Structure 1
Amino acid sequence: MRYFIIAGEASGDLHGANLMRAIKKYDPQAVFRYLGGDQMASVAEGLAMHYRDTAFMGLDVIWHLGKIIKKINFCKKEILAFQPDRVILIDYPGFNMRIAKFLHTNGIKVYYYIAPKAWAWKKKRVYDLQKYVHHLYVIFPFEVEFFRQYGISVSYFGNPLVDAIHHFQQQKTDRNTFLSQYHLPDKPIIALVPGSRRSEIERILPEMIRATEKFSDSHQIIITGAPAIEPKLYEKILGHRQIPVIFNATYQILSHSRAAVVTSGTATLETALIGCPQVVVFKTGWFTYLVGRPIVRIRFFSLVNIIAGKEVVKELLQFQLPERIAAELDRLLHDQEYVNQMATEYCLITHQLGTSGVAERIAHHLIVVGR
């Protein structure tokens, strides 16, 4: 069969690549066309557009609206020309919900993988999913009941990060090999994970760097580089500071770190599944913050705490971030009882997310069952 897939950011590229591998197991003759990234391109030919050209958030969407509309129109034309048997939209709701409406209008079934977080904000998207999506694959167990009450056809086969972490654990390098590979000193590591989008990196990474200055003598600070971001951006932010930026090794870095400062998003859950103690931070533009604050309906903003239903990791938002990050890092590095409790909660979260083989289960349903 012919599969058109849209994954508009780094996490979607990862899950799209794993899903494509699984599809090929059930359908060896599969032909793909996709908006994605390097990981999907490593699985099969068919890249129509790289996600780095579409990764905008907050007010950036307004400033780049003309460009985004052009990309949406490009995808519409590509889909019609490709004549797919399956269209799979992965996360990225601001873009993909517009595509879903177009596909529904043209009589093309939509399979949506990783649902918009309508249970947290923009609840009206539930009604768009109801109208435009043939089947929804969710990645958190509590989402099934939420979407099903609106009459949406929905399945939960586990969380795809379980697959990603399982694959990583099978090829993880030991600490000495890691330090040697990147020419690092034998010091405890603090990982800075500033996100995958340019705008969030520009806002949050400077705060992270200032927060870790007091630890730089006793610890090795490492920044995880986002695959679609050019090194020059990090160099500009770092200035004269000698902090290594390592690309395509986030899981390795986290697995060897004593603590991590993580921008809110998928990376917080990845950090938990790997087992690294963390503090979660987020900072957006002032206007976005003022507009968004009244409409967000959840107690927590990190996936770790949302899944646990309580505070497992400290969340720091918007204000006085360097001082607050530094204080929490102190606790993560020196309060072993606190870290042990976090590790226990991490185990409970991992259990909730199911076993590996998520992509294979979704692929089987997509091809064989969910017609």
Structure 2
Amino acid sequence: MKYYIIAGEASGDLHASNLMKSLLKKDPAAEFRFWGGDLMSDVSGIVPVKHYKDLAFMGFLEVAKNLGTILKNIKFCKEDLQKYNPDVLIVVDYPGFNLRIAEFAKGLGLRVVYYISPQLWAWKEGRVEKIRKFVDEILVILPFEKDFYKKHNVDAHFVGHPLLDAISDLPQINIEKFKADHHLNEKEIIALLPGSREQEVTKMLDLMLSVRSHFKEYQFVIAGAPSLPRSFYQKYVDKNVHFVSNKTYDLLRSSKAALVASGTATLETALLSIPEVVCYRSSTISYEIGKRVVKNIKYISLVNLIMDEEIVTELIQSELNTKNLVKELSAILEGERRDEMLKNFTKLQEKLGGKGASDHAAEVIVNG
């Protein structure tokens, strides 16, 4: 079959690449055309129609400023999709863009599969109507999402979380070798994951690094995003602040703890059993708008949302400051808080149901 896949962010590139591997196992003659990133290219052997780094805009203001580019991309995608005429369109999260394309594809008579539901349970719940109208199968990766869709008379498939696939396949790591390979010293590591978009990293990284003088016995290592050039990070690097690119999982597994920007990385860190503090700060206007449109949500991190309790501390907006970072980071480096968090991470893995999400999703897609 011919598959047209749209992933608009780094996490979508990861999950879509693993889905492509599973599709190839079940459909060896599969042909792909896609919007995504380097991981999808590695699987398919072809370059994306558009790379996700040219698509990702964060926050209401950033979207508004880039609206012209977004609309041009939508127009181009519709034309390209029509020319390719796939057997199935697979859209991965990224709802503002993908729901428009899903509607267009359904109008062409194409089969539409939504892999990784947009977070409609948090905001824009009215978009469920679009899912019902324009999507043939919705494949969800969080346990509570199936019940959310059932409430709206949509039959969703819970396939499990694809991060468990990615993490369970990792080879064992030699921490001393990792340090040597990346010219790190012998000190224990605190990993810094400030996000993947330039404006996000700029807001987060200075704050994360503001704690350095309180933790001189540790070295800080920044996880570079593949969407940003190495040169972007150089101003942050010094003798005790290092930089590692495209090795985030290895960095986390070599670390004692992590400061992590809110997003998929908070869940990745937890599933790798690394204690963390979740950090979030956006522009004041974007945050104030966000507060008014997000409803019935007690937490911003996936870890806490899935467990429905505060497993990891979330420092949001003004709470994200040096004093609070020092306090929370100290608490997870040693002692009861660290032990409790690690126990809860084990429960989190159990709740997500184990590996196999990519295979389960491919089974639904290939066999209907």
Place the TM-score, normalised by the shorter chain, in its bin: over 0.9
> 2:153, 2:333 → 1: CA distance?
47
Aligned to 1:43: 43
Q: Which runs of 5+ in 1 are unaligned?
A: none
Identity, in percent, stands at 41
Q: Which runs of 5+ in 2 are unaligned?
A: none
> 2:275, 2:354 → 1: CA distance?
22
User: What amino acid sits opposite 2:311 in the alignment?
Assistant: V
1:146-185 superposed matches below 5 A: 146-168=148-170, 171-185=171-185
> 1:270, 1:257 → 2: CA distance?
13
Residues 1:317 and 2:319 are matched in the alignment = no
Offset of residue 273 of structure 1: 0.4
* Matching residue within 43, 60, 84 for 2:86: 84
TM-score by length of 2: 0.96
Aligned to 2:340: 341
Q: Secondary structure at the match of 1:347?
A: helix
> 1:311, 1:220 → 2: CA distance?
28
Aligned to 1:265: 263
Q: Is the 8 A contact 1:139 1:157 kept in 2?
A: yes
1:267-306 superposed matches below 5 A: 267-297=265-295, 298-306=297-305
> 1:355, 1:175 → 2: CA distance?
26
Q: Is the 8 A contact 1:32 1:45 kept in 2?
A: no
Offset of residue 183 of structure 1: 1.6
> 1:181, 1:240 → 2: CA distance?
18
Question: What RMSD over aligned residues (CA atoms) do the two structures have, in Å?
Answer: 1.3
1:99-114 superposed matches below 5 A: 99-114=101-116
Aligned to 1:328: 328
Q: Please, which moves more after superposition, 219-228 or 127-136?
A: 127-136
Offset of residue 241 of structure 1: 6.8
Offset of residue 9 of structure 1: 0.6
Deviations 1:285-326 (A, max 9, x none): 111111111232201110000011101100000115222112
User: What amino acid sits opposite 1:349 in the alignment?
Assistant: L
> 1:143, 1:357 → 2: CA distance?
18
User: What amino acid sits opposite 1:342 in the alignment?
Assistant: M
Residues 1:227 and 2:226 are matched in the alignment = yes
Deviations 1:262-285 (A, max 9, x none): 001100000000000000010111
User: What amino acid sits opposite 1:291 in the alignment?
Assistant: I
User: What amino acid sits opposite 2:286 in the alignment?
Assistant: T
> 2:179, 2:213 → 1: CA distance?
21
Report the number of matched residues.
364
Aligned to 1:244: 242
Offset of residue 239 of structure 1: 6.8
Q: Is the 8 A contact 1:211 1:321 kept in 2?
A: no
Offset of residue 206 of structure 1: 1.4
> 1:279, 1:121 → 2: CA distance?
24
Aligned to 1:53: 54
> 2:120, 2:91 → 1: CA distance?
16
Q: Is the 8 A contact 1:254 1:276 kept in 2?
A: yes
* Matching residue within 130, 133, 143 for 1:141: 143
> 2:214, 2:4 → 1: CA distance?
49
Q: Secondary structure at the match of 2:210?
A: helix
Kindly report structure 1 stretches of 4+ aligned residues shifted beyond 3 Å: 239-242
> 1:317, 1:131 → 2: CA distance?
36
Q: Secondary structure at the match of 2:125?
A: coil
Offset of residue 45 of structure 1: 3.4
